[in-house]
Structure 1
C-alpha cells in the first residue's frame, strides 16, 4: 500500500532528511503505518525515528542537528496541541535561522466514515480548530496545508526550498487524516529541480566603496553575529584581518563561532555594547541582528557604516534600523572575499602598508591585555569558590580540543565565551533566539549530527552543554535525559547553579537602577530557586538511574569532578555536573 503518508516520507528522504523527531497522536495512523512499512522495506533509506516525549525537545534536536550540518531535519507533532507544544523552539529556529520541516496532522474533516481516516475518537471534535497553521505561521518561512496526496512530494519540496533558502528557518505543513491515508500511484520528482535559492555577492560599486573605506580607516571594526554558520567564514575573516592590520572583529550575537579567539583581531562576544563600537571610524555589520544597543552604546556620528546581511531589513522584526551609509542583501562569504580581493589593488594595498606596522603592534598589544584581563578575572575566589569564568577555563583545558559547545548560559554567556575562547569553525553553537530551553535538545541533536557526519554512533566529536540553572529547567530534562539514554546519545551537561534566574534582575537594573527592586532580595522579586533543585538527580531519574550525576562547589575539587565526568561521556554515558558558581565572574 502506497499512501500519501508513505509518499511524504519518501519525499523527505529523497530530499536528504535523515532524522524524524516525533511525538505521535490520533492524527497519525497512516503516518505510523508508513513508518513501519518504511523501516521494514526501505532500510538504509528511511529516516531514523527518534521518539520525543516533549515537542520543545523534538524541535530543539532538529534545530541542533541543522545548526551543525546545515541539513534540515523533520519534526512530527500532534494536531493543534502538539503544534502549540513546539512553543519557544519555533521562535528559536526562526530567529536562529535553523532549517527545520515541521509536520502536524489535522483532525479528520469527515465524521460518517466517508473516507478512510474519518473521525473515530472523541478528541477529533475537540482538536478541530479554524486554522491550525496560524498558531505558528508568523515564525515560519512557509506554512501550508497538504490538501491532496497527489502533490504531497511537491508540497514537501516547496517547503524545504523555503527552509534552506536564506534567510533559512522553520517551515510548517499539516494534513488531515483522510488526505494522508489516501492511496496513490508511486511517483518521483527530479530532485535537482528543487534546490534552494542562492544569494549573490556585492555589486561592484559596493566593493569599491567598502574596500576604500577600510583602506583609509584608522579604527576599522567588523561586527558580526551569525555569519559563522558558514564554516568558511572564520577563515575568510582572518584573511581580511591579516590584510587590514588595524581591523578588530566583534561578535554581538553569540550564536556561532564567527572569528577565532587566537587571532589578535578578536574582541570576543559582547551583547550590543563595547568600547570598540564607539571609537571605530569604519564599521562593517555582517550577518548580525543587534550590532549595538542604542540606549547603551552608539557609533561615532562620523563613522562610515556598511550593513551586509542575508536579511538586512530584518523582515520579521517590526522595529529595526541602524544608521548605515549603505545596506546590501548578499552572501557573507562572497562579500568578504570580494572585499579582500579588492584590497589587493596597488593603490589600496599601498595605503594599508603605510600604517600596517603601527596598526599591527597596537592591535597585538590590546589583544594581549585583553587575554590577561580575562585570565585574572577567572581566578578562583579567596573562599575556595569559583565563578563561571574559572569553570569555563577548566573545561577548555580538560575537554578535547575539537569539542562542540552547546551554550545557553544566559547572563553568564560572556564569561563562558571569554574563557572557552573558541577557535574552530562550528565549535560554538548558541540557539540565537530568546526561547530558553534550547540547549537540552540542541546538544542531543548536535551529538547525533556529529556522529552521523563521522561514521556512526559515538564516532563524532565530544559535545558539552553549558546551561544556566533556570534555563536547565526550561529544557525539559525529564524528556532530554530519557532520550539520551534510550538512544545512547552521550553528552556532558554543565549546570551553572547560581540559585535562581539572574536575567530578570539584570533587566530590572537596566531600567530602574535605583528602584525598589534594586535593593530587594531574590525572594522578593521572585527569581530565587531556594530550596535548590537536585539538577543532576533530575537527569538521573529521567534516565532510569543510568546517568553519571555529580555536584561541585569548591575550586579544589573541580578538576577531578570534571575529569571523571568527561571520562564517563567518552565511555558512552551521559554526565550531568551541577556546578555552584559565584556570581558575576
Structure 2
C-alpha cells in the first residue's frame, strides 16, 4: 500500500523474503547504494544492515527512519547505522499506520503520478540492464547463467530457498511466499534444512534449494538427504560449485585489495579443491545426482532433475561446476 500509493521506490537488499513482486513498478533492484545519495527520506524496514558505509550512505540532510520489532537491533553488540527516527512495532501494522498517516501529508495527485512514472521507468530500466536471460549462451558456466536457467524452472507453485548463490536480477517471482533467503541469524548451512522444512510445511509445492558448495557442506548433507528420503520430502538441490569460499576471499580483497592473497591463484583459506563429487552423496539416500560443467548441458540436466522430483517424488541434486569467482551476488 505504502509503496504503491505514494510512489516510493523499494530496494530488496539481501532479502529474507520479497515484499514486492520482482516485476512491480516500484521494485527498483537489489542494491541500495545508487539511490541512497539522492534520497530525501530513507525507510529501513526491519533490516540490520541497510547499506555498506564503504559503498555509500544517505546524504547529510536526509531523514532516516527505522521500523521493526527492534528497529535499533539493540541486542547486537555493535551496530552503528544512522537513525533519526525509530518506530518500534510489528512490521505490517506499523507500515499500515505509517501509510495512513502519510496520506494526510501527501503532495498533490499530480506530483505523485509524476513520481510514479519516474520510478516505474527507473524500475524497468534497472531490470532491463541487469537481466541477461538465457540468450546468448556463455562460453563458460557462470553464476548469472545458472540463475537465468533456474528461473526457467519456476512457476507459481514453486518455492525457491536460496543460500547465497542466486543472482536475483535474473529471477521472476511475482507471488508472495515463493522466496526465502537466509536470515542474518542463520549461519552457513541453513539452506538444506530450511528447504526440507518448507517442503514439510507445503507438501503440494515444488521446492528448489539453491546452495553454494560451502553452504552445502555446512548443511550436513548426509543427514539432510537421509531425512529427505525417510520423510518423503523430495526437493531439487542445485549447487553453484565454484570450489571456493568466496565470501572469505571477498572480505580479504575488500580489506587488502593489493595484498599477498590478491595476487594468488589459490588464496589461502579460500579454496575448496579438489572439489567433492556432491552428486554421489545424494545417491546414498536414493536420490538422483549429476554434475554439469558445460553451459549447453545445464538446462537439460535441470529439467531431468525437476522431472524426477515431480514425477518420481525423489530428491535430486545437480552439481553445477561454475567458473571460480568472488563476485558478490544480490
1:558 to 291, 298, 302: 298
Cα distance in 2 between the residues matched to 1:360 and 1:340: 16
Report SS of the residue matched to 1:250: coil
Cα distance in 2 between the residues matched to 1:437 and 1:324: 32
CA contact (8 A) 2:289 2:316 kept: yes
The verdict on how the C-alpha distance between 1:380 and 1:391 changes in structure 2, with shifts beyond 3 A counting, is: farther
Cα distance in 2 between the residues matched to 1:311 and 1:403: 32
Matches within 5 A, 1:477-516: 477-516=221-260
Task: Answer 1 or 2: higher relative contact order, Cα 8 Å, separation at least 6.
Answer: 2
Cα distance in 2 between the residues matched to 1:535 and 1:352: 58
Report SS of the residue matched to 1:361: helix
Cα distance in 2 between the residues matched to 1:504 and 1:364: 37
Partner of 1:447: 199
1:469 to 2:213 alignment: yes
- Number of residue pairs aligned between Structure 1 and Structure 2: 324
More helix by share: 1
Q: Please give the root-mean-square deviation of Cα atoms over the aligned residues, in Å.
A: 1.9
Q: Deviations over 1:70-128 (max 9, x none)?
A: xxxxxxxxxxxxxxxxxxxxxxxxxxxxxxxxxxxxxxxxxxxxxxxxxxxxxxxxxxx
Unaligned runs of 5+ in 2: none
Q: Which has the larger radius of gyration?
A: 1
Partner of 2:268: 525
Cα distance in 2 between the residues matched to 1:255 and 1:331: 16
CA contact (8 A) 1:283 1:303 kept: yes
CA contact (8 A) 1:257 1:423 kept: no
Cα distance in 2 between the residues matched to 1:466 and 1:547: 17
CA contact (8 A) 2:28 2:122 kept: no
Structure 1 residue 382: Cα displacement:
4.3
Q: Deviations over 1:478-497 (max 9, x none)?
A: 11111111111100000001
Matches within 5 A, 1:159-558: 239-245=1-7, 247-270=8-31, 274-345=33-104, 348-349=105-106, 351-376=107-132, 379=135, 382-383=138-139, 385-409=140-164, 412-413=165-166, 415=167, 417-433=168-184, 435-451=187-203, 460-522=204-266, 524-541=267-284, 543=285, 546-558=286-298
CA contact (8 A) 1:253 1:288 kept: no
Cα distance in 2 between the residues matched to 1:504 and 1:306: 32
Structure 1 residue 377: Cα displacement:
7.6
The verdict on how the C-alpha distance between 1:378 and 1:290 changes in structure 2, with shifts beyond 3 A counting, is: farther
Report SS of the residue matched to 2:37: helix
Q: TM-score, normalised by structure 1?
A: 0.53
Q: Deviations over 1:421-457 (max 9, x none)?
A: 3322221112213510111111111100112xxxxxx
Structure 1 residue 527: Cα displacement:
1.9
1:580 to 310, 313, 321: 321
Q: Deviations over 1:512-540 (max 9, x none)?
A: 01111111122x41322222210111121
Unaligned runs of 5+ in 1: 1-238, 452-459
CA contact (8 A) 1:447 1:461 kept: yes
Structure 1 residue 343: Cα displacement:
3.8
CA contact (8 A) 1:253 1:289 kept: no
Cα distance in 2 between the residues matched to 1:400 and 1:248: 26
Report SS of the residue matched to 2:283: helix
Report SS of the residue matched to 2:131: helix
CA contact (8 A) 1:402 1:424 kept: no
CA contact (8 A) 1:549 1:576 kept: yes
Structure 1 residue 379: Cα displacement:
5.0
Structure 1 residue 267: Cα displacement:
2.5
Report SS of the residue matched to 2:274: coil
CA contact (8 A) 1:478 1:539 kept: yes
CA contact (8 A) 1:285 1:308 kept: yes
Structure 1 residue 341: Cα displacement:
2.1
Structure 1 residue 284: Cα displacement:
1.0
Q: Deviations over 1:270-303 (max 9, x none)?
A: 3xx5211222111111111111122322110000
CA contact (8 A) 1:548 1:574 kept: yes
